[in-house]
Structure 1
Amino acid sequence: MPELILFNKPFRVLSQFRSDGDKETLASYIKIPEVYPAGRLDYDSEGLMILTADGAWQHKISHPRKKLGKTYWVQVEGQVDDKALQALRKGVLLKDGKTRPAQARVMAQPPDLWSRTPPIRYRAEIPDSWLELTIFEGRNRQVRRMTAAVGFPTLRLIRYAVGQWTVQGLAPGESRRVQV
Structure 2
Amino acid sequence: MNWLDWAIIIVLGIAAFQGFARGFIVELASLVALVAGIWAATHFSSSVATAIGLDPTKEILAFVVTFLLVLIGVHLLARLLTTLLDAAELGLPNKLAGIAFGVLRSAFTLSIALNLLLGYSKGDMPPKHVQEGSQFFEPLWAFAPLIIPALGETKWVHQVMEDVKEEASELTD
Structure 1 or 2: larger helix share? 2
Q: TM-score surpassing 0.5?
A: no
**Larger RCO, structures 1/2 (Cα 8 Å, 6+ apart):** 1
TM-score bin, normalised by smaller chain: under 0.3
Instruction: Provide the TM-score with structure 2 as the length reference.
Output: 0.25
Instruction: Provide the TM-score with structure 1 as the length reference.
Output: 0.24
